Structure 1
Amino acid sequence: MRVNVLQHAPNEGPGSIQDWCHEHNHEMFVYHPTDFGILPTIDETDLLVILGSPNSPNDKLDWIKNERVLIKQMLKANKPILGICFGSQQIAKTLGYEVLDAPAKEVGWAPVYLQDHTIENIPKKLTALHWHQQMSEIPEDAKLLFSSDLVKNQGYLLGNNVIGLQFHFEPKEDNVREIAINDGAYALENNDLHQTPQEIIAHGVPKENKDVMFVLLDYITK
């Protein structure tokens, strides 16, 4: 399987998604559309992973519009997609749903609660890394998958092969440090989780987050 990853920020990489690819002997290709303007074609994409971004899907930028063309093609072809944070919003935007300010700005670690049991072997409560202040509407045909205490729309399952997550299960310890030291100022501005970059790093990554990421990827590619 060829897994094509769209990475939009130098400090927000695939993390444990790369581990999943290696363990399953999949080929992973990482694209940087914000820097090089290059995207894969649908014919060379078996699984599309869309990572986070400091941009909003509402921004009028060519690479954002071009990504939605690819997403639309993937949806039409019924190929699996995982969208994380910005990526989740991009999928919803492609389907005609709004991306808007969330009720709270969440930056740091906070629990998310499972809302649907279609996918097995996911704990009812998990601690995820949040790094956002926008969210998308949940597509009408999708199932609400996760919620947090401050933001209801934290994740959705569309059909059996498209998942959007507003938060992050994919970062490993090194990834969290990279995110926090480079974008720590974002955590200090009107953050409703009231966590500093140092506190975010010190928290550590729950072991089950990687396990759940593997479960989600296994589900949409089965």
Structure 2
Amino acid sequence: MRVNIIQHTPNERPGLILDWTQNHQHQVGIYHPYQFQGVLPTAAETDLLIILGGPMSPNDHFSWLENERQLIQTLLYLRRPIFGVCLGAQQIVKTLGGTIKAAPVKEVGWAPVKLENQIIPNLPAKMSVLHWHQDTFSIPTGAIRLFSSELVPHQGFLYRHNVLGLQFHLEVASLNIREMLINDGSYLNGSAFKTSCQKILSQPVPPINQRVLFQLLDFICANN
């Protein structure tokens, strides 16, 4: 399988997603449209599209963001699996006609999310995850809400069993979190969690997060 990953900023990397691709011996391509003249994969060479987070908004006027949504639209038509994280999930929502707006509060740091639907079996009822956002999305028409948090109710969705978006970050390993904090630690200012870089780093990544990430990726690929 050819897995194409769109990375929107240097310090929000694929992380544990690459472990999953290696376990399955998938071929991986990583694209950086924000830096390299909007270069994106084609639909023809994409069996699974993964769209990572970033500081942009789908409401920003960058031509490559629009081109990215055109790619998503084509893959939706072809019924290829798509997995979006944070900005990536918002891009999917905007493509499906949903809205992106400021969240009720800014969520940055560790906090729990709750499972809202058991359509994907054997997921935990609650888990602690890394949040890094101040926007939120609507749940697209025809999609199922999968996760919520106490402060921001729309944290994840499943569409047609093979398209999944998460507002939070399951893909991060400890090194990825350290890189995010080194380069963008000021983003913690104004977080509803009133946390610090030290507090975030002191909490190890829960092993269950990797298991859930792998399970979600396996699910959308099996339902292609």
Q: TM-score w.r.t. structure 2 length? A: 0.98
Q: In the alignment, what sits opposite 1:43?
A: 44
Distance 1:174 1:190 in 2: 24
Distance 1:180 1:212 in 2: 24
2:72 matched to 1:64? no
> Does the 8 Å CA contact 1:146/1:153 hold for their aligned counterparts?
yes
Q: In the alignment, what sits opposite 1:220?
A: 220
Q: In the alignment, what sits opposite 1:55?
A: 56
Give the secondary-structure state (helix, strand or coil) at the position aligned to 2:201: helix
Q: Structure 2: 5+ residue runs without aligned partners?
A: none
Percent identity over the alignment is 52
Give the secondary-structure state (helix, strand or coil) at the position aligned to 1:219: helix
Paired residues in the alignment total 221
Q: In the alignment, what sits opposite 1:9?
A: 9
Distance 1:130 1:166 in 2: 8
Distance 1:25 1:43 in 2: 20
- Structure 2 counterpart of 1:148, one-letter code: S
Give the secondary-structure state (helix, strand or coil) at the position aligned to 1:221: helix
Q: In the alignment, what sits opposite 1:119?
A: 120
Give the secondary-structure state (helix, strand or coil) at the position aligned to 1:117: coil
Distance 1:218 1:95 in 2: 23
Alignment of 1:192-211 (within 5 A): 192-211=192-211
Distance 2:207 2:180 in 1: 18
Q: CA deviation at 1:113?
A: 0.3
Distance 1:120 1:23 in 2: 21
Q: CA deviation at 1:104?
A: 1.1
Q: CA deviation at 1:206?
A: 0.5
Q: Structure 1: 5+ residue runs without aligned partners?
A: none
Q: Which whole-Å deviations, capped at 9, do the CAs of 1:10-52 have from their partners, x for residues lacking one?
A: 1101011000000001011110010011000000000000000
Q: Which whole-Å deviations, capped at 9, do the CAs of 1:111-149 have from their partners, x for residues lacking one?
A: 000000010121000111000000111002110000001
Alignment of 1:78-93 (within 5 A): 78-93=79-94
Distance 1:99 1:120 in 2: 29
| Cα root mean square deviation, aligned | 0.6
Q: In the alignment, what sits opposite 1:20?
A: 20
> Does the 8 Å CA contact 1:121/1:215 hold for their aligned counterparts?
no
Alignment of 1:104-115 (within 5 A): 104-115=105-116
- Structure 2 counterpart of 1:217, one-letter code: L
Q: CA deviation at 1:214?
A: 0.3
Distance 2:209 2:95 in 1: 28
Q: TM-score w.r.t. structure 1 length? A: 0.98
Distance 2:28 2:52 in 1: 14
